Chain A
Amino acid sequence: MSYPTPATSVKLVLLGEAAVGKSSLVLRFVSNDFQENKEPTIGAAFLTQKCTIGERTIKYEIWDTAGQERFASLAPMYYRNAQAAIVVYDITKPASFIKARHWVKELHEQAAKDITIALVGNKYDLVQDDDEGQGEREGVRKVSVEEGQNLAAEEGLLFYETSAKTSYNVNDVFIGIGNKIPEAASLASSPEQNNNEGRIDLSTNASSNGNRNLCSC
């Protein structure tokens, strides 16, 4: 790969009902790891990861918010300045899809106008047939692919079904968002980037357990 252009910082926020797998998605993306019983997130967690997409290097600054209703009043603080959002639901829990719909609505009303939103139906591993086939186990899935696609189409969102457990499609979400982030937006954020270049480099070196070239493609 040729010299990568200086990393573009993208502020990204994760939203969605409790226990749909927000933190697990991020953990998979940042550390390529999975923990079966991850402690519930309180408030919000902050993580970073770099991602090289073609010519561009994008550095995601991720705010992984707590899903429980009681913490919802904190969310605006985190999505206010976000350039991208991932709204997550659990494809085996219809209530979480309803919640996802609410988050999309709120983002369109309250967040930045040009925010890039990805809708993600997580826990694909639960519906997958055991013998690696294409088929799905009957009755486990409660939200159809079409429902997800329709919502995404209506609202102009990216759409993926993922499994943080098997890592299925996880990196694609972040690559997809990177591709959709308008060049203009990344250019606009460049000056700020230059100002803070020193401090950002420092932190990338400091966080050791992340798989940095995870999604170079």
Chain B
Amino acid sequence: MGKKKQEMAQVYNGTSNEFIFGEQGGKGKNLSSFLKNLSLTGSSTLSHSSSARDSVEETNSQIYGSLGYANSTSSLNSSGNLFNPKRPTNTQRTVSVGSGLPHTSTGLGSGFPERMTPVSGGSGGKISPYSSHKQSQPRRSRSMSRYTDLDDDWDADLQEVSSPKKELTKLDTEESSRTSLNAQTSPMLDSLYPDLMLPSGNGVSAASKPPKESLDFEDMQTKMEINKLNLLNSKYAKFRKVLTSDNNINLQDLRKLAWNGIPNELRAVSWLLLLGYLPTNKSRQSSTLKRKRQEYLEGLDSVTIEFHDDPPDNESTTSLSNANRDKMLYHQIKIDVKRTNPTLKLYSYTATQMSLRKILYLWAVRHPASGYVQGINDLCTPFYQIFLNNYIWQLQRKQQLLQRQHKSNNSSTGSLPEDDDMDLYIPGYLASEEEDDPEELKLLQDPQLPQYTLDNFDTSWLSPRITAIIEADTYWCLSRLLENITDNYIHEQPGIIRQVNELRNLISKIDHELIKHFDSEGVEFIQFSFRWMNCLLMRELPIQLIIRMWDTYLSETPLGFNTFHTYVCAAFLIKFSGDLKAKDFQEILLFLQNPPTSRWKEKDVELMLSEAFIWQSLYKNASAHLR
């Protein structure tokens, strides 16, 4: 891990050969030097080209093809693994996109928000390198006047490609800019990674070759769709392989995969592994979980408070006796749980609230140095959600099996068919034959079961058995997470203060103009970013996207909830840099308290994570001399 990052940092830190663009552009000095560094890697592609041929790489490219920037790159071809920055080979491609940015915008500040605009189509499959290129011309020539493009061949290629089918699609400037970026990157990739072309030949290599007459746009679109589905499948298969291939799960492999997002079905088990709660050795998994779940229940038993719904409110005694302090703590947790994710139905059920209360209360009394701090209530919800989701998934699988068995019993006698994916289940969720769980039986007989999701599942249907298991797993995962950020919640919250300062430092390097603007308006970082640190951006982004972000956080070593999160916050802030620079003090604060993220998609978050990764690679160990 660390080694990979170092390699990457070295790639960035080379000192010569600016082959993509010249000196003129860029808004800030920091920015241009940053981009200059990025452009270097274009030259180092050669040295790594051989490693691109290994099969892991190829699968990766299939998996990541539909993600992130892939809006522009998936039409390029499977080189979507652009955004697996963990590998040296990907590094170059990450970087080549980064370095392409100045062609399409005048700087990071204005460029980022622009690129955030949701693109219709989503999959990116609808953008054709041929068709859109014509539209991208004006933009391109504009940027050409700002930057010296030193690679003549590209233009020659592009001219040729642009001539046919210029009338095909209507693309907005945003899309054309992506595509022009795309078209610029592809020749390099084409020549260096011929093996990365998908066999389906979905027109991706076209940017550097004369267009093939047989390809028309709609045909290509269909192929793209199919390709996208295949990618999802292969992503699942890839995880499946890592999770089932050996008696000892290879955590490194899992980390690498998880960085780019975990399939829904496999998220819970992957998180358990990444957090170090579930042993990688399969023979130890069941017993460990059993012990930890038992420990959780014993913990609850040892607690003096009674978790009934409405404890009598005899607060009139205000002595600070221990019993009273516990009561006040429980009261605080109770009212906060009631207002946790108030817009989501799942959190309005008494059963959900009761579970969260127990988890939070036990954590608080076990960690007196910090105790319960508001925000921790938010942090336990992703865990609760994914474990519940996993149980629903397991139930659905089991129901399918039972139905299949029922059918086969009609024709011949047979035992319960084995589930191929048994290995992917978290042990203990489904009741064993010895365990009596009438609620689970009822759910398995429910014809509605296949339709249940987190949006329509009522947690009061859960049996006490599975409720305790979900609570215990949530509790232990929350504990693991908080272990990494304990100083965020102790007296005076030094961890948060440090992160806020680091964020300011980072922004002053990455976007000096923004800092100057904030300073002149009197905006202080603590005024808006305190919450970003205290709740890990959970108040700023929809929970599904937070869960996606945690896939990446959990695959960082050390876990990304601390340092890496600061870089993510930097990327988040810079997304809005252009907007913010046009605002005054009050507008800035009002904007940042309610940032326009409600329509964000996974790809937006993935872009942000990639940017964060790049900045971490650039600045993490270099802070001393850059300061």
Q: Given A142-B315, A206-B590, are A40 and B339 neighbors across the interface (CB < 8 Å)?
A: yes
B531 partner residues in chain A, CB cutoff 8 A: 42-43
1/0 contact trace for B288-332 toward A, CB 8 Å?
000000000000000000000000000110100000000010001
The residue that A68 contacts in the complex, of B315, B338, B373, with Cβ under 8 A, is B373
Q: Given A19-B335, A95-B315, A202-B584, are A42 and B590 neighbors across the interface (CB < 8 Å)?
A: no
- Decide if A145 is an interface residue (CB 8 Å cutoff): no
State A39–B593 Cα separation when bound (angstroms): 13
Give chain B interface residues in 568-605, CB to chain A under 8 Å. Answer: 584-587, 589-590, 593
- Decide if B619 is an interface residue (CB 8 Å cutoff): no
State A166–B458 Cα separation when bound (angstroms): 32
Give chain A interface residues in 81-107, CB to chain B under 8 Å. Answer: 93-95, 98
A47 partner residues in chain B, CB cutoff 8 A: 590
The count of residues in chain B whose C-beta lies closer than 8 Å to any C-beta of chain A is 36
1/0 contact trace for B503-533 toward A, CB 8 Å?
0000000000000000001000011001100
State A37–B348 Cα separation when bound (angstroms): 10
A37:B530 contact, CB within 8 angstroms: no
A142:B587 contact, CB within 8 angstroms: no
Q: Which of chain B's residues has its CB closest to A200's CB?
A: B586
Q: Which of chain A's residues has its CB closest to B335's CB?
A: A19
The residue that A40 contacts in the complex, of B374, B526, B585, B586, with Cβ under 8 A, is B374
1/0 contact trace for B368-385 toward A, CB 8 Å?
001101110100000000
- Decide if B435 is an interface residue (CB 8 Å cutoff): no
The residue that B328 contacts in the complex, of A43, A95, A200, with Cβ under 8 A, is A95
A35 partner residues in chain B, CB cutoff 8 A: 342
A37 partner residues in chain B, CB cutoff 8 A: 338-339, 342
- Decide if B387 is an interface residue (CB 8 Å cutoff): no
B318:A38 contact, CB within 8 angstroms: no
Give, as a whole number of angstroms, the nearest-CB distance from B569 to chain A.
14
A46:B527 contact, CB within 8 angstroms: yes
A94:B316 contact, CB within 8 angstroms: yes
Q: Please count the residue pairs between chain A and chain B whose beta carbons lie under 8 angstroms apart in the complex.
A: 93
Pick from A69-77, A150-158, A176-184 the stretch touching chain B: A69-77
A203:B493 contact, CB within 8 angstroms: no
A61 partner residues in chain B, CB cutoff 8 A: 586
A94 partner residues in chain B, CB cutoff 8 A: 315-316, 318
1/0 contact trace for B544-588 toward A, CB 8 Å?
000000000000000000000000000000000000000011110
A66 partner residues in chain B, CB cutoff 8 A: 374
Give, as a whole number of angstroms, the nearest-CB distance from B494 to chain A.
10
B339:A203 contact, CB within 8 angstroms: no
B374 partner residues in chain A, CB cutoff 8 A: 18, 40, 42, 66, 68, 70-71
- Decide if A110 is an interface residue (CB 8 Å cutoff): no
State A198–B371 Cα separation when bound (angstroms): 45
A199 partner residues in chain B, CB cutoff 8 A: 521, 584-586
Q: Which of chain A's residues has its CB closest to B535's CB?
A: A42
A202 partner residues in chain B, CB cutoff 8 A: 584, 587
State A95–B493 Cα separation when bound (angstroms): 24
A70:B318 contact, CB within 8 angstroms: no
1/0 contact trace for A168-199 toward B, CB 8 Å?
00000000000000000000000000001011
B587 partner residues in chain A, CB cutoff 8 A: 202-203, 206
State A77–B328 Cα separation when bound (angstroms): 27
- Decide if A144 is an interface residue (CB 8 Å cutoff): no
Q: Which of A42, A46, A142 has the most CB of B within 10 A?
A: A42
A43:B526 contact, CB within 8 angstroms: yes
- Decide if B434 is an interface residue (CB 8 Å cutoff): no
The residue that A142 contacts in the complex, of B316, B370, B375, B535, with Cβ under 8 A, is B316
State A73–B491 Cα separation when bound (angstroms): 9
B586 partner residues in chain A, CB cutoff 8 A: 46, 48, 61, 199-200, 203, 207
- Decide if B21 is an interface residue (CB 8 Å cutoff): no
20 intermolecular pairs with C-beta atoms under 8 Å apart: A39-B339, A39-B340, A39-B539, A40-B374, A40-B377, A43-B526, A43-B527, A43-B530, A46-B527, A46-B593, A68-B332, A68-B373, A70-B489, A70-B493, A77-B526, A94-B318, A98-B318, A196-B584, A200-B586, A207-B590
